[in-house]
Amino acid sequence: MKVPSLNVPGLRRRKADDLPGVTAVARIDRRTKRLTKRLQAGEIAIIDHVDIDRVSGEALVACGAAAVVNLAASVSGRYPNLGPRILIEAGVPLVDSATPELFERIKDGDVVRVHDGMIYLGDELVGKGQQQTAETVEAAMTEARAGFAVQMEAFVANTMEYVRRERDLLIDGVGVPDIRTSMDGRHVLIVVRGYHYKEDIATLRPYIREYRPVLIGVDGGADALIEAGYVPDIIVGDFDSVSEKALCCGAELVVHAYPDGRAPGLERVRRLGQQAVVFPATGTSEDIAMLLSDDKGASLIVAVGTHWTLDEFLDKGRSGMASTFLTRLRVGSKLVDAKGVSRLYRSRISTPSLLLLVATTMITIGVVLSVSPIGQVWLNGLRVAWNGFVFWLVGLFS
């Protein structure tokens, strides 16, 4: 009798799990912040991101990326950006300057393998790059710090250019659109998906409950508010990283447009059947959220996840961050930065300690009632009331 041949791939070649490196589903996008919205734990992120900033690095780690393949240089040397170090310290393999054709050779959802800077699709080598380590990242960071003075000069030049172009907006508020949401005399909470935004929103819950500020989400900050259980009153941004759910939640929409009036985000709003106000400005979306709040009479502006230090401005890798520096000067003392408030303040009383305190108090009260004359009267009264309740309950079934 002829034995049928068995087509078992494992008999002819090793299983993918037996091969060295990381084997997983690949997710592809040139915009990291778009990719992290659909990246699942254990998947490989393929991006094209020069100078991975801290927010992107933390987002990739939070998503549980199994590995990151970057077609660009994760540390170009322009400035000491923080993202690559965050990935390496979290144990996420990072491959830099990968083959540009990867976006054509690999489709979103393909299973790929990454090992020693090599990228495989099945048994085929489809690309390669530089495998980064803690040592190579630190060396690149050291080199970048040496050129920090050049970036400082560029930052100052960009600041002066922004003053020249937007002096009417900064000084007199010219160009700020009218909105229907009233802010006059009210507190405003602006949420950006920046550093420690989740922890800070959680810590600010008592403040939000007591003062009921106007809630403004800047692009993905609107989703952050919704995830925390709130509904934003206003959403500001170019709407490239905010969900359709947020755009349709009933908030007033303010589209950040280019100075010439072009607003790519407006098309998306109209496709969803929503209305929006257009705000042309050179700066960032978080800038126009602050300028809008200030112009409309907000008494206090609380900012969550926004950028404040020079390292953070440079870490965004955009010359436009100079506008944020000037916007904060324009808004002045009414701006309160909530960044890190979750680390500054934590309750010293833990939940178990609080429960123990309540239990101890109840026991103390019971002991006092049992030994004092007045307590005996109260206990007798309670005993009589309980007996009466039991007698009544038994009578219902007899």
Among candidate residues 329, 344, 359, the one where a domain is terminated: 344
Determine contact, residues 221/227, Cβ cutoff 8 Å: no
Residue 153 falls within a domain, yes or no? no
Over range 211-233, report the average pLDDT.
95
Looking at the fold, whether 43 and 113 belong to one and the same domain comes out as yes
- Coil, strand, or helix at residue 86? helix
Q: What is the pLDDT of residue 4?
A: 40
Q: How confident is the model at residue 383 (pLDDT cuts 50, 70, 90)?
A: confident
Residue 4 falls within a domain, yes or no? no
Residue 330 falls within a domain, yes or no? yes
Residue 175 falls within a domain, yes or no? yes
Looking at the fold, whether 171 and 304 belong to one and the same domain comes out as yes
Looking at the fold, whether 264 and 321 belong to one and the same domain comes out as yes
Of 263, 236, 232, the closest CA to residue 245 belongs to 232
- Coil, strand, or helix at residue 10? helix
Stretch among 6-15, 23-32, 82-91, 290-299 having the lowest mean pLDDT: 6-15
Residue 102 falls within a domain, yes or no? yes
127's CB contacts (< 8 A; 6+ apart) are 69, 98, 99, 101, 102, 105, 106, 118, 119
Q: How confident is the model at residue 105 (pLDDT cuts 50, 70, 90)?
A: very high
Over range 88-115, report the average pLDDT.
94
CATH (domain of 107) = 3.20.19.10
Residue 397 falls within a domain, yes or no? no
Please determine, for residue 17, whether its predicted confidence score (pLDDT) is greater than 50. yes
Q: What is the pLDDT of residue 101?
A: 92
Please determine, for residue 9, whether its predicted confidence score (pLDDT) is greater than 70. no
Q: What is the pLDDT of residue 368?
A: 67
The DSSP line for 98-118 is --TTHHHHS-TT-EEEEETTE
Q: What is the pLDDT of residue 35?
A: 92
Looking at the fold, whether 115 and 234 belong to one and the same domain comes out as no
Gap between the Cα atoms of 330 and 334, Å rounded: 10
Looking at the fold, whether 77 and 215 belong to one and the same domain comes out as no
Angle between helices 373-396 and 351-371 (to 10 degrees): 100
Looking at the fold, whether 201 and 139 belong to one and the same domain comes out as no
The DSSP line for 314-364 is HHTT-GGGHHHHHHHHHHGGGEEE-TTHHHH---SS-HHHHHHHHHHHHHH
Q: pLDDT per residue over 230-241, tens digit each? A: 999 999 999 988
The dihedral built from the CA positions of residue 356, 362, 365 and 369, taken in this order, carries a sign that is negative
Q: What is the pLDDT of residue 1?
A: 39
Please determine, for residue 6, whether its predicted confidence score (pLDDT) is greater than 60. no
Q: pLDDT per residue over 53-80, tens digit each? A: 888 899 999 999 999 999 999 988 877 7
- Domain limits for position 114: 14-145
Q: What is the pLDDT of residue 13?
A: 37
Of the two residues 296 and 398, the one the predictor is more confident about is: 296
Q: What is the pLDDT of residue 339?
A: 64
- Coil, strand, or helix at residue 66? coil
Determine contact, residues 33/56, Cβ cutoff 8 Å: yes
Of 342, 396, 330, the closest CA to residue 194 belongs to 342
Q: pLDDT per residue over 158-192, tens digit each? A: 666 666 666 656 555 556 889 999 999 999 999 99
Average pLDDT, the chain: 82
Q: What is the pLDDT of residue 52?
A: 92
Of 89-93, 170-174, 377-381, the range with the highest mean pLDDT is: 89-93
Over range 367-371, report the average pLDDT.
68
Over range 131-158, report the average pLDDT.
79
Q: What is the pLDDT of residue 10?
A: 37
Q: pLDDT per residue over 142-154, tens digit each? A: 888 776 666 666 6
Over range 335-361, report the average pLDDT.
65
| Burial letters 361-376, b for 16+ CB under 10 A, else e | eeeeeeeeeeeeeeee
Looking at the fold, whether 333 and 215 belong to one and the same domain comes out as yes
Q: What is the pLDDT of residue 338?
A: 80
Residue 135 falls within a domain, yes or no? yes
Please determine, for residue 42, whether its predicted confidence score (pLDDT) is greater than 60. yes
Residue 367 falls within a domain, yes or no? no
Please determine, for residue 3, whether its predicted confidence score (pLDDT) is greater than 50. no
Please determine, for residue 228, whether its predicted confidence score (pLDDT) is greater than 90. yes
Q: What is the pLDDT of residue 306?
A: 79
Over range 260-273, report the average pLDDT.
89
Output the CA–CA distances (angstroms, integers) from residue 329 to 153, 174, 308, in the order listed.
19, 17, 11
- Count of domains observed in the chain: 2
The dihedral built from the CA positions of residue 112, 114, 115 and 117, taken in this order, carries a sign that is positive
Q: How confident is the model at residue 386 (pLDDT cuts 50, 70, 90)?
A: confident
Among candidate residues 95, 115, 145, the one where a domain is terminated: 145
Question: What is the reported pTM?
Answer: 0.59
Gap between the Cα atoms of 246 and 98, Å rounded: 35
